[in-house]
């Protein structure tokens, strides 16, 4: 596969104008030249074979050759609600959740949280999502929601917890024949779980249908407080254990994403 670049906008006169980080990567890091072929994906399920026509220091123009709609998503929607760790551990977490096919990430603020999720942090995470998607061949970007507190999470409708690839996409897709088909939202109920190591069912023993959407809330170092566990339980979040040992935040999130996602692909990559 040719190296992939992200561009959310549709082509204009069958041409893409890459700028900023994407153009810099192609021109100065990968050293692409006029006449080279690349793949451009839009984050909404479509990828385009394209031919580089012109280059400058900060811009790249590529002509669209072929477009295909291919969904490498899992058969179920997975939402990870997590009190994010700091620094490199956070970057590692984002990268692996993208690779494992997580549909949506909701940053969670708890009484023991250590990382503050500011607008600048969200912007950084969005860039990390794009870079990880470029590498792993993912065509739908993992969604990043606004940070939520425990009370806010308890009051969120299931539709807002659920990752939905069909949201806000219809207006973005342009009229290329036979390529405007979006994934159908699931009609199965959302299963809401919270990682809690004490007196809980083991996560791998949780029974659900192969396409049933699932969300799992993962607390900070030290876990959820007693009052937070009570609030979540009373709001329909079922406690589950990830095993006999205490896992770090990123390990717990990756383990949950793996248990619910691995082997559940819609189809194989081309």
Domain boundary among 49, 69, 89: 69
User: Does residue 213 sit in the same domain as residue 83?
Assistant: yes
- DSSP code, position 26: I
What would the pLDDT profile of 21-30 be if each residue is shown by its tens digit? 888 888 888 8
Residue 186, classed as helix, strand or coil, is coil
Domain boundary among 31, 51, 69: 69
- pLDDT of residue 211 exceeding 70: yes
Positive or negative, the Cα torsion across 196, 198, 204, 208?
negative
How far is the C-alpha of 196 from the C-alpha of 231, rounded, in Å?
Answer: 13
How far is the C-alpha of 255 from the C-alpha of 249, rounded, in Å?
Answer: 10
Pairing label, strands 59-69, 15-19: antiparallel
CB 78 within 8 A of CB 108: no
270 assigned to some structural domain:
no
Residues of the domain holding 215 = 78-261
What would the pLDDT profile of 33-45 be if each residue is shown by its tens digit? 999 999 999 998 8
What would the pLDDT profile of 95-150 be if each residue is shown by its tens digit? 999 999 999 999 999 999 988 889 999 999 999 999 999 999 999 999 999 999 99
Q: How many residues does the chain have?
A: 270
What would the pLDDT profile of 238-265 be if each residue is shown by its tens digit? 999 988 889 999 999 999 999 888 744 3
Q: Between these two residues, 186 and 45, which has the higher pLDDT value? A: 45
User: Does residue 133 sit in the same domain as residue 35?
Assistant: no
CB 53 within 8 A of CB 79: no
Contacts of 230 (CB under 8 A, 6+ apart): none
* Rounded mean pLDDT, 164-176: 48
Share of the chain above pLDDT 70, in %: 87
How far is the C-alpha of 24 from the C-alpha of 72, rounded, in Å?
Answer: 27
> What pLDDT does 239 receive?
94
Domain boundary among 50, 69, 88: 69
User: Does residue 18 sit in the same domain as residue 90?
Assistant: no
User: Does residue 23 sit in the same domain as residue 65?
Assistant: yes
Give how many domains the chain has, as a whole number: 2
CATH number of 191's domain:
3.40.1280.10
267 pLDDT tier (thresholds 50, 70, 90):
very low
User: Does residue 140 sit in the same domain as residue 90?
Assistant: yes
pTM here is: 0.85
């Amino acid at each position: 596969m040719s190296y992939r670049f992200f561009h959310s906008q549709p082509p204009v006169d069958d041409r893409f104008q890459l700028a900023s980080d994407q153009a810099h990567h192609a021109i100065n890091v990968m050293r692409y030249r006029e006449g080279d072929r690349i793949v451009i994906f839009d984050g909404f399920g479509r990828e385009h074979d394209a031919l580089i026509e012109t280059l400058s220091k900060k811009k790249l123009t590529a002509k669209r050759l072929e477009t295909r709609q291919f969904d490498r998503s899992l058969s179920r929607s997975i939402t990870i609600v997590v009190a994010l760790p700091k620094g490199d551990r956070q970057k590692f977490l984002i990268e692996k959740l993208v690779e494992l096919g997580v549909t949506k990430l909701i940053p969670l603020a708890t009484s023991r949280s250590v990382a503050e999720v500011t607008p600048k942090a969200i912007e950084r995470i969005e860039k990390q999502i794009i870079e990880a998607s470029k590498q792993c061949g993912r065509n739908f970007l993992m969604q990043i929601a606004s940070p939520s507190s425990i009370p806010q999470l308890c009051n969120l409708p299931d539709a807002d917890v659920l990752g939905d690839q069909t949201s806000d996409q219809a207006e973005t897709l342009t009229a290329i024949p036979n390529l405007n088909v979006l994934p159908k939202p699931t009609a199965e109920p959302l299963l809401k779980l919270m990682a809690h190591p004490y007196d809980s069912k083991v996560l791998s023993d949780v029974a659900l249908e192969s396409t049933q959407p699932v969300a799992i809330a993962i607390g900070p170092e030290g876990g959820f407080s007693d009052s937070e566990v009570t609030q979540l339980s009373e709001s329909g979040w079922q406690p589950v254990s990830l095993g006999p040992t205490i896992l770090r935040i990123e390990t717990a999130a990756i383990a949950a994403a793996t248990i619910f996602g691995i082997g559940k692909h819609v189809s194989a990559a081309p």
